[in-house]
Structure 1
Amino acid sequence: MNNKKLQAHNDLSSKNAKYVVGIGSSAGSLSALKDFCKGLKKDTNAAFILLQHLSPDFKSIMDEILEKHCPIPIKLAQDLQVIEKNTFYILEERKYLSLGDGKIILSNIRPDKLHHPINYFFKSLAEEYQNRACGVILSGTGNDGMDGMIALHNVGAKLYCQSPEDAEFDGMPRAVLDTELNIFSAPADELGRSISEHLRMRGNSDVNIVKNSSDFKNAEKIFALIRNSSNIDFSEYKIGTAERRIQHRMGVLEITDFSDYYDYILREEKEVALLAKDMLIGVTQFFRDREVWDQLLEHTIKPLILEKPDGETIRVWVPGCASGEEAYTLSMLFEYAQEQLNVTREVRIFGSDVGRAGYRDSLTGAYDISVEKDIPKPFLERYFDRIDNKLILDEKVQANVVFTTHNVAFDPPFSNMDLVSCRNLLIYFQPSAQKRIISYFHFSLRSNGFLLLGFAESIGALSDYYHTIDSHYRIYQKNSDTRISLTDAGFNNNTLADQRHTMEQSARIKNYLKTSDYSLAEKSNISRCKDIIVNAYAPPSFVIDTLHNVVYSFGNTEPFSQKLKPGVSSLHIMSQLHQDVASVVNTLLKKLDATRKPVRVENVILLPENLKVTVEASCLENNTTHQIDNYIVSVVTQTTVSAEETAEERDYRRNSLLNQQISRLDAALLDAREILTERQHDIETLAEELQCSNEELMAANEELQSSNEELQSVNEELFTVNSEYQEKIKELESANFDLDNLLKYTEMGVIYLDTNSLIRRFTPKAREYVKVLPLDLNRPFTDLSLTFDCDKLHDLINQASIEKRKISHRIQNTAGPGIGISINPYLDKYDNLEGIILIFQHHET
């Protein structure tokens, strides 16, 4: 890192959110969200992202509702949108939301896949922001969000949950509280205030490599310690990523000041390895972003298989493979494609990572049953067997993959590759390192080879060297064998100088080793002297492991051990010792196993040598793990028994010792029988309890399945009813427009009255007969004046209402046309009176 990198990063990160608060909610969460937003502060330096359960083809208007209550700006979440601080993001449509490189990533939801968007989002949040994240669960049904909260808990994130008593629907809050994680539960308004306070306190103890020169220097020193101990260089990591990883380790250790953490890492050497492990983000899963693999299968893998001549090997490289799930995903895809195409090709997939620990467990091919939700059904049925609550990967799929140690940023790349799959690795590197790595991939690929990147990654300035197959799913193809220049590949003078320095340093080390032979030989002589002294003066001793197998011996153990017997040999100490010593050692080791304290027995007689010895046993503790790894059994000779003892006396003493040993064994056997009887009774009781629990769980499972089906049915019904209501509303709006236009343009005076003779509406022509204004709506008709004389009009209206029939009345006018009045009852389909319609018309006398 240098000052130019710091300056470039300053402008970019000034608006970026240091923290992200993920909020998951469902049914009944509107009032909770309003209260939650009211409790927030303006300057938390955090981004808030809200995810809800949304119906298909429905866009949320939650942003319009919450903007009246939220003190920070509200934005709708968009694909590849930079996450800014002091901003509230809302997903308005039914999509998956994940995070990468400080951006929002949206992807479509497959209709054939179980829809748990909150779990999906929270797991991505945990991976990207670690302990700089917060998880919040509000009102809702079901248990979506539970697995995501567990993932957040595992990386040290702060967890919050609306109290079930305060939630309109307590399913989701109770589900996360039942995990018994460390979750702060409170009413929604208190959650907002608590999160704001937590973020304020965190801001006072942050690591800031960019703005704080002392933090920058300490970070460089820490990276140098990691580089020297593990040969992994993190100096080209993105500064924001480095800050988050260091902050995570500080949070685990409860250290708030970066200088204190640097002092700690100097004192505790193991912390260097733990930080390096934390920097190496090993999050992966089978078929992550399923739609990507569907596209790759159809547009890359199948054409690749068909184009590859029979007898040639398809070569695939998966750098940064972590625990290997992505490599195995590709292996399954190639096997599946060959089945569909009815062809056979040799496939070799190289999974590489900087550390061996990341993929060692994957060599067994055994996975927890919980991963089955990530694997599409056709692949789960074809390539996995369920054994003892484990999923065992098919041997053929495993055989296609080879794991190796490789640093993609510094080691020479693999060659002649047909496909390179590097998803969500480049996002953690600075731009110069990204260009260099992509140039390595270009060198690694054969002509027309394919490159697959993550959603938040691209080939950037090297687009001239690749043809874009699918820009959305980040599938590219090498378009020429033209060598990428060092400048285009991101190499600068400092990078080249560092590589030359590394080569010169390696040469100096080799020369040093050649000139240091004398020093090594001198140390070897000292070790031989130590061995001579131990063998000459230390008591004969055996070092045994916790299973009582001999792993080492020193001193003259011949008088106390016996010759190797014919047949299968054993390293168990009982088979190595003299029978008189063996019985004593057996008793001592049982005591040692129980107490973990040194034990000894004196005056043990060995026949026929007539030796009186002391036998001692003690534990050896591992300084690193503080666990008992080994025992030491020592035999010290006290004296030699007089040889004048007769054979009968020796036999008597031996029999006496044997009888004592037999008595001890009998007592131990009785104790063992009693313990066995008690354990058997406990097992029977436990078996009965487990049987009852199993029956209860089966019944509960059936109830849950029934409830799930009922909920699904209710959801479908509500969706149908909602659609019908929407259609009815459209019809009513159309009918209302028709009626308005009819009243506007009709040449008759019409007045609508309700059952209480209040004016509901009227036509413009009615003003020629009744002195009525628009302000008179909902006013009693009896309050208005007529433009002609008719004293009994109100009586006629009452009569029409009572008799529910039409009444006509004419008024003669000698000076002009007469007036005809039609009084009509307004009846509904059940013949109930809903009002009166008055129609006024002029007529000739």
Structure 2
Amino acid sequence: MSQPNAAFEELLVYLRDARGFDLTGYKRSSLTRRVERRMAQLGIPEYGDYLDYLQVHAEEFTALFNTILINVTGFFRDPDAWAALQTEILPALLAAKASGEPIRVWSAGCASGEEAYTLAIVLAEMLGADEFRRRVKIYATDVDEESLAQARHGTYSSREIRGIAQEEYLVKYFEQAGGRFVFRKDLRRAVIFGRNDLVQDAPISRIDLLVCRNSLMYFNAETQARILSRFHFALADAGVLFLGKAEMLLSHSMLFLPIDLKRRIFRKVPRQPVGNGTAFAEVPFSAPRAELPGVELLRHETLMTGPLAQVVLTADGRVALANHQAEHLFGVSARDVGRPFRDLDLSYRPVELRQYIEQAQLERRTVRVPDVSYLRGGEHLDVEVHITPLATGEKGLLGVSVVFHDVTQARRLQDELEQTNRQLETTYEELQSTNEELETTNEELQSTVEELETTNEELQSTNEELETMNEELQSTNDELQTINDELQDRTTELDQANDFLETILSSLRAGVVVLGPELRVQVWNRQAEELWGLRTDEAVGEHFLNLDIGLPLDRLRPLVRQTLVADAGLNELGVAAVNRRGRPILVRVLASPLRGADGGAAGVILMMEQEGTADRADGSTGPDALHAHGRADGNGREPAADGTHADGAAAR
């Protein structure tokens, strides 16, 4: 395992101390991935810098917790597991409850409430709505206050309820309001939402069904064990634990036993009561029985034929008795009775017995001499000697009993047993080592499964966000399409208006030129082309007074300037010009201001109409021919022959 990052651990400690949210029990791999995801969104590369950012921006806590707490849930998530719970587990659990007895359910890690309301639907289907309202309490808890607030409203979009495959459930348990589905208010009162941190807060007690799906996998093994111990306390003796598909509980068989391991449904193992005492009974006193006849002979024969070699000595150390087994093993017979025991080989072989006999006489207790080896006729025997003092009721010493126990077979069996035990211990150690390796591998695999499931939920959360963004983009696209259609319609209308305007301009007999405020050509119609031989694309955009045409533009300049003046009216001027064929012509020019949106002059409209040729009476042509036609200048006054007006003013 990689060493913990000190800066990251400092960040977790700050979150715990500042907001009371303990993340230290979460798996570091998934936790660091989600914290770094939030840091990447802010463009912060280091944990220390992000800690500084949190200290300055209090609102960042909410965004961080929303990133860490992946609220991936749904109605009837994993339908097969819910079907097994509804058809196989809950009927037996409800049958074990007395009629009218409350049913307590805990949905731990309920997120936005879909799981809690699924439990409500399942139990209401099994009990009926009236019985459900009377008996059932569903405690739904989570650490995310924002999700709990959403869960309390019990309103969901059509996408959020897509896990409800039964159409009748939607009709029976939901009401539609504003395009959303609202869970029934009368049943919603049985679902109690509240904040509970599985790591720090005390568990709810006397629970019949505890549902905690895909929450344990976010915690490390130590924290999982602590939470499962609290779950064990929370459940009633016949309580059922319903976990997510990535949570196995293989190493917690002392707390829970699987009912359906495939679907992750477990039953609580009740704690065994500990006894508080041991009963004692007195042994009843039995009265002494009368002495039977022939008992002494019976005792003598019993001693002589006993399976153990036995020699009885008097208080002064003489042989008083030796049975048949002693004669068989050590050669002590009735001939040796009355001899001092120290004269016999048995007194010092196979072991020096005299010191042990003296010890037994002095201490008045049985002395045991173990591990005595004896070689008899090439056969190796293992013997254990018990030396017992024989005393009267007044503690007077009568003698000593020396008993030889042949433990050869027992010692051989013990050696074999010890050897077998050593082999078993070696095998057990090997098995234990293999088992530990398997447990380690299993824990690693379980951790990998949980990590994959965590990653899957993160991907699912991201997918839901992408779906939401896609819906928003689709909505935006629809709006853009609507705007595009409107623009298309307006473009069509504009094209039609332009075509209509072009038709009007083309239908006029006069040449029409529209000038902007800077006297650049904006419109140049077909008649203007016919008059001056300049195409539209050559004229548009050019300064009107710079055009190379047969029109005396210097005479038109005052007319155009005057028309641009505010409140200018229609101005007229007749001029001699040369058309595109090079023929002199007389042209009547009308100038009208082009009004802008504010009513001011935004340009000039010029209309130029040919009135005839400029031929003189004597056959010559020129500009002076205009006077012969009696045309007025722009002020409507006839110029004199010397170039002055009738009122004496010089002609311009």
Could you tell me the TM-score, scaled by structure 2's length? 0.40
**Greater CA radius of gyration, 1 or 2?**
2
Could you tell me the TM-score, scaled by structure 1's length? 0.31
Larger RCO, structure (CA 8 Å, separation 6 or more): 2
